[in-house]
Amino acid sequence: MISVITPVYNGKRFIESCILNIIKQACPDIEHIIIDGGSTDGTVEIIKGYAERYDHIRWVSEKDNGQSDAMNKGILMARGSILGFLNVDDYYEPDVLRRIVELFKILPEPSLLVGNCYRWNDKGEMYELNKPAKLGITDLMLGWNVNPFPVNPSQYFYHKSLHQKIGLYNVQEHFTLDIDFLIRAVQAAHVTYRDEFWGNYRFIEGTKTFHDMQNRLCVQRLNALLNKYKKELPRRQQLLIALKRACYNNQLTAIPRYFMRDPHEFFQKLRSKLMNVFGFRH
């Protein structure tokens, strides 16, 4: 079974389309778990109405400590061995969930399966194709400008058992919770990327993510998160990240000349430069 979890708070504008998007998937072995944070705008009434007609919908409505807390509640409720998260204002491409169930039949456990995502603005215009093909930890540590992360949970799915290895979502993270999860996940799961479009992410004015980007706080949060996890990696991986970053910044364009003149001198200089980056003793 696949369990799709939707955290929501005062999401009347999109909750019905979210519920219908799952229904139209026509996936036979599914449950849709909706975790409402105590909405007061009519969201609960819409959820209740559909839950009375469709037995694959399970829901609760109570105060929580934010999105991560709501997601963790959904995980603990989930009966399926495969998890997916669909935010209330996002949606899947047609027939995605049946495709996911079939793919997971041949994947080792625990696996993280990642596809592509369309990004849409508030005018209904598609403005970006997110295709996160490189998902190794040293690739992700290079940052968004070098190697974009999966931009939305509608484009990835994973075995529920993965949480036994890495724990639940960090309830202290209210903005970078998805990236925090992915950084931990790629180090513990069998990661598979498929060049297929599965998710749709609406970047909507008024949401916390939109507000964070408008105030240019998202880059600071992301960099702080990356630096935190980078320090926890083995030195070999830290040096590899520094080398990849240097190559990206064209700081090693003179490699052929130095290498041909004196390979030993080149590698000594490279080693010294990377050691200085991290403050290691020579």
28-72 pLDDT, tens digit each: 999 999 999 999 999 999 999 999 999 999 999 999 999 999 999
Question: 182 or 268, which is more confident?
Answer: 182
pLDDT at 260 over 80: no
Amino acid at 146: V
Global pTM value? 0.85
- According to the model, what pLDDT value does residue 141 have? 92
**All domains in the chain, ordered by first residue:** 2-203 (3.90.550.10), 234-278 (no CATH)
Is the Cβ–Cβ distance between 86 and 11 less than 8 Å? no
pLDDT score, position 241: 87
pLDDT of residue 211 exceeding 80, the answer is no
Q: How much is the average pLDDT of 248-266?
A: 54
